[in-house]
Amino acid sequence: MHQQQVLEVQVTDAGQIYKAAYYVEFGVIHASILGSVVVLPASGQDAAGLVRAILTERILERAVRLRNSSAWQQRSAL
């Protein structure tokens, strides 16, 4: 699997659109996801689906971190 073009996927969460760019070269997916570079084997799978899944996971992790941070700040103020 060898691609020459950069592709993009997007996920919408709470009205916010998040995008990730990626390309596949010699069976390896190179993706830019929320400011981080992720490199993983394509292994014949749907590259767009894998990148979208990682983007979704990162969005959810960020939301949990923000929620926990807010809860911690509220407890500390007591």
Strands 36-41 and 7-13: unpaired
pLDDT band at 77 (very low <50, low <70, confident <90, very high): low
Helix/strand/coil percentages in the chain, nearest 5: 40, 35, 25
pLDDT tens-digit profile of 5-57? 999 999 999 899 999 999 999 999 999 999 999 999 998 889 999 999 999 99
- CA distances 68 to 9, 34, 57, 65, 74, Å, are 28, 20, 16, 5, 10
Give residue 43's pLDDT: 84
Q: Check whether 72 has a pLDDT greater than 60.
A: yes
The beta-carbon contacts of 31-38 under 8 Å, at least 24 apart in sequence, are 33/58, 34/58, 34/59, 34/62
